[in-house]
Amino acid sequence: MRAVSRTTPLRAGAGGEYRRDMTHSAAPRITVGVFDADESDLAVRWAAQHAATVGGALHLVHAFVWTELDVNIDPISGMAGSGFRSAAQSLLKDALTIAREDHPDLPITSEVIDGNAVPVLVGVSAEADLLVLGGRGLGRLMTLIVGSKSLALAARAACPVVVVRGRIEGEGPIGLVHHETATEVVTRAADLAEAYGRDIHLIVRPGTTEEQAQEILAGTAQRIALTHPSVFVRDVTVAAADTAKELIEASRDACLTVVAGERSAADDGRVGAPRQLVNVLRFAHTPVWIERD
């Protein structure tokens, strides 16, 4: 992961509010989009667990849309803790509590940012090493994120994106969906396998013969061995059909599935999420890591 120059540990201030102290750190910054949904809580738990595993710092972000909707966000006179702004702060405090349950010493920062969720999350991704979202949160935003060219959030984020779905306590391997031209996704899967102490399970597309699958397995294992000698690429599965659902089914025992975003034809170098990847996010029963290649 790309190192960041600073983190901003959450400190309790007057009135119970939280503010950020600026300190220098090389810890990876794991940013989570916090929403009022159970899936968001799951994303916070996974992100805290991941940050603790890789020695990172957690950053909680809530997009505060109410200022753009011309509604009264002020607290009700004489009623402490009322108002939309106070509710947003409470949401972040609840997320902080969730993250602290299993990782009390994890560096955590927090902020409410005025604006719609998609541009806010794209903006914060510029200072993040990883952007984490709850699966349902992505579903609610799908009509905004996916346009006429089927571009998902990964197309605009400046860092890899993880969509947290299903179980997050899996003990299985890192699932790696093979891509013919992507290279960074292999390195990322190896980094994750090394950090988590897991093997890699390779998934290849249907139509691949057994001989071809074994060649892909051998080539991937050889490449990873050069840089990650402790990581074992243990086996390969050929998906039963060329659909997102079958690719996910082939990695059912994985604790995390790593897929490559695809470069768009545009000169801006954005990573496209074709309809197949959008469907992967629909069917996944484990977190999905979308890597910018």
Query: With pLDDT > 90 as the criterion, what percentage of the chain qualifies?
Result: 38
Domain ranges of the chain: 6-164, 174-291
Per-state percent for the chain, helix, strand, coil, to nearest 5: 40, 25, 40
Residue 131 has what pLDDT?
Answer: 93
More confident of the two residues 181 and 136: 181
Q: From CA 181, how far away is CA 159, in angstroms rounded?
A: 19
Residue 247 has what pLDDT?
Answer: 64
pTM: 0.79
Find which of 58-67, 80-89, 197-206 is predicted with most confidence, using mean pLDDT: 197-206
More confident of the two residues 283 and 20: 283
Per residue in 106-139, pLDDT (tens digit) is: 999 999 998 888 888 889 999 999 999 887 654 4
The CA-atom distances, in angstroms, between 195 and each of 94, 99, 128, 173, 174 are 28, 20, 19, 12, 11
Q: Tell how far CA 31 is from the center of its chain.
A: 8
Do the two domains 6-164 and 174-291 of this chain adopt the same fold?
A: yes
Residue 248 has what pLDDT?
Answer: 67
Burial letters 174-192, b for 16+ CB under 10 A, else e: bbbbbbeebeebbbbbbbb
The CATH number for 174-291, chosen from 3.10.20.30, 2.60.40.10, 3.40.50.620, 3.40.50.300, is 3.40.50.620
Per-residue confidence band for 187, with pLDDT thresholds at 50, 70 and 90: very high
CATH class of 6-164: alpha beta
Per residue in 198-256, pLDDT (tens digit) is: 999 998 887 889 999 999 999 999 999 999 999 999 999 887 766 666 666 766 788 99
Q: What is the mean pLDDT of residues 148-168?
A: 70
Long-range contacts of 101-107 (CB under 8 A, 24+ apart): 101/45, 102/45, 102/48, 102/49, 102/52, 103/48, 103/49, 103/51, 103/52, 106/48, 106/51, 106/52, 106/57, 106/58, 107/7, 107/9, 107/25, 107/27, 107/57, 107/58
Beta strands in the chain (DSSP E): 6-7, 10-12, 18-20, 23-24, 29-33, 57-64, 108-114, 130-134, 161-164, 174-177, 200-204, 233-238, 256-260, 262-263, 271-272, 288-291
More confident of the two residues 260 and 241: 260
Q: From CA 237, how far away is CA 176, in angstroms rounded?
A: 10
Q: From CA 192, how far away is CA 54, in angstroms rounded?
A: 9
Q: Is 5 exposed, middle or buried (0-12, 13-18, 19+ CB in 10 A)?
A: exposed
3-state secondary structure at position 24: strand
Residues 6+ apart with CB under 8 A from 67: 73, 114, 115
